[in-house]
Amino acid sequence: MADTLKLVKKISRLSDGKPRLRFMEVCGTHTVAIFRSGIRQILPENVELVSGPGCPVCVTENDFVDKAIAYARKKNFIVATFGDMLKVPGTRSTLAREAANGARVEVVYSPLDCLEIAKKHPRKSVIFLAVGFETTAPTQAATVLAAQSQGVKNLFMLSAQKLVPPALRFLLDDAAVNVDGFLLPGHVAVVTGADEFNFLADEFKIPSAISGFEADEILTALVSLLEQVDTAQVRVANDYRKVVTAQGNVTAKKFLAQVYEVTDASWRGMGTIANSGLKLRDEFADFDIERVEPVEVERVEKKSACRCGEVLRGIVKPTDCPLFGKVCQPLHAIGACMVSVEGVCAAWFKYGGGKFNF
């Protein structure tokens, strides 16, 4: 507690007399941790935290969900997914709704679980929804390698993995996004290494700090950001040194490079971002369901008052959305940001004063 008070006082001292500062926590886990620990409430008036596109479920586009639904409707197919994808709205349905109507949808806790499902059901095609950032992609790569070595031929990936650094570059090139620094995701940096984010200081001259997820770790990173503002000495501060190195997890990156190659990717609310995604290399095409058995989904421009895309870029707060807390609530979400436990809107609803309508 004493250390926490010291950090809070230091934040107050460093921010005193400064203009309004907006720092973006990129990671959805940070968003939840910040709300849960009450950090927003103890910050000075001129220091604002805004949430970014750090929830992989939230930035997954409708057409990916529509493809997953199309496969789930097919005979002799099993779709395996993490639980928070079940209620993500596609154009006209959700995986949860399809499961209720008889589709085979399995919730797994690791992509490696899919190996056992595929072995148990050799006559069915098992598709894992490979959604995530650098944190989960190595395990997905390891699953492909394990399936190959074990001769499992009925396991496939529907891929939507995304890379965080290109998304930050996109945000900084967006005139509508106005941030004074980044609170960077510690678990992503564990894999990529701290050096992967050096472009933020070298090219964009914007303060950045890699943080853990405990309250004191977040407050320490905020002190780093304010010190950079105060001294005008911009850098990428590694405030999570106990697990983050300059080069990252060499083994995990080796798996990624072996199985995947970088490609353009579509992000909800941001469109296509160059070199921000991963796709299976040609050597592993037999595990890519879109190459083995492609499906066509109708692209529909769905008009909605949902402002999830702007929320993900930190342009508006969830409470600025006319649907928030009214027709859009966790049990019947309109937008993806309200679905995931790491979703910005879900966190605001749970911790930020959203009320149920009865």
pLDDT per residue as tens digits for the range 107-155? 999 999 999 999 999 999 999 999 999 999 999 999 999 999 999 999 9
What six digits make up the tokens of 279? 């796709």
Structure confidence at residue 342 (pLDDT)? 87
d(CA 191, CA 140): 14
What six digits make up the tokens of 87? 């209620």
What six digits make up the tokens of 310? 């702007």
d(CA 179, CA 272): 21
Structure confidence at residue 304 (pLDDT)? 81
CATH of the domain spanning 62-161+250-292, picked from 3.40.190.10, 3.30.565.10, 3.40.50.11740, 3.40.50.300:
3.40.50.11740
d(CA 226, CA 44): 12
CA distances from 16 to 9, 12, 21, 191 (A): 11, 6, 11, 36
Q: In which residue ranges of the chain is CATH 3.40.50.11740 found?
A: 62-161+250-292
Q: Which residues contact 193 (CB under 8 A, 6 or more apart)?
A: 244, 245, 246, 247, 248, 249
Least confident of 61-75, 269-283, 311-325, 342-356: 342-356
Nearest to 128 by CA among 146, 148, 145, 108: 108
305 DSSP assignment: S
Type of residue found at 40: R
Q: Would the pLDDT of 227 be above 90?
A: yes
Helix and strand numbers, DSSP H then E, in the chain: 15, 11
Span 264-290, mean pLDDT? 96
Least confident of 112-126, 170-184, 236-250, 335-349: 335-349
d(CA 8, CA 42): 8
pLDDT tens for 13-49 read 999 999 999 999 999 999 999 999 999 889 999 999 9
Give the Cα-Cα-Cα angle 250, 254, 260 (nearest 5 degrees): 140
Span 270-288, mean pLDDT? 97
d(CA 106, CA 104): 7
Superfamily of domain 2-54+176-238: HypD, alpha/beta domain 1 (3.40.50.11750)
Structure confidence at residue 340 (pLDDT)? 86
Type of residue found at 343: G
pLDDT tens for 294-326 read 998 877 666 788 999 999 999 999 999 999 999
Task: Give me the residues paired with residue 126 across strands.
Answer: 78, 155
pTM, to two decimals: 0.92
E strand segments, the chain: 21-25, 47-51, 77-81, 105-107, 125-132, 155-161, 181-185, 208-211, 236-238, 260-267, 271-280
Classify residue 121 by burial, with Cβ atoms within 10 Å: 0-12, 13-18, 19+: middle
| 77-81 and 105-107 beta bridge pairing | parallel
Span 283-304, mean pLDDT? 88
Query: With bands split at pLDDT 50, 70 and 90, how would you rate the model's confidence at 193?
Result: very high
| 155-161 and 125-132 beta bridge pairing | parallel
What six digits make up the tokens of 111? 């992509």
What six digits make up the tokens of 127? 């598709």
Q: In which residue ranges of the chain is CATH 3.40.50.11750 found?
A: 2-54+176-238
Task: Kindly state the percentage of the chain with pLDDT values over 90.
Answer: 85
E strand segments, 187-317: 208-211, 236-238, 260-267, 271-280
d(CA 270, CA 273): 7
Q: Would the pLDDT of 1 be above 60?
A: no
Number of other CB atoms surrounding residue 271 within 10 Å: 10
Q: Would the pLDDT of 170 be above 80?
A: yes
Query: With bands split at pLDDT 50, 70 and 90, how would you rate the model's confidence at 2?
Result: low
